[in-house]
């Protein structure tokens, strides 16, 4: 899924901030103490999210789906800040 994030951010640099916010919001506790030092979600949380979205946990979002999700988060955050 990291590859999908990178593809989206390279094509849409304006979403980089939102991608970082999402990574921080879903990162497993103590992620910075484990190799690889990337803010990844807990595997059980990731699997649950993928299962609820796709019906199975081995399906990853497409770059287009990730882009739409990041744009949605960005709009939602802006609408809440007034």
pLDDT digits over 49-80, tens only? 999 999 999 999 999 999 999 999 999 999 98
Burial class of residue 18 (count of CB atoms within 10 Å of its CB; 0-12, 13-18, 19+): buried
pTM as predicted? 0.84
pLDDT exceeds 70 at position 82: no
What is the overall mean pLDDT for the chain?
Answer: 92
Instruction: Tell me how far the alpha carbon of residue 18 is from its chain's centroid.
Output: 9
pLDDT exceeds 70 at position 81: yes
């Amino acid at each position: 899924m990291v590859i999908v994030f990178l593809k989206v951010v390279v094509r849409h640099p304006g979403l980089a901030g939102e991608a970082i916010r999402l990574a921080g919001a879903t990162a497993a506790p103590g992620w910075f103490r484990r190799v690889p030092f990337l803010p990844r979600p807990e595997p059980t949380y990731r699997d649950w999210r993928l299962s609820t979205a796709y019906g199975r946990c081995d399906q990853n979002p497409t770059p287009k789906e990730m882009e739409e999700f990041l744009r949605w988060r960005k709009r939602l955050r802006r609408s809440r800040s007034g």
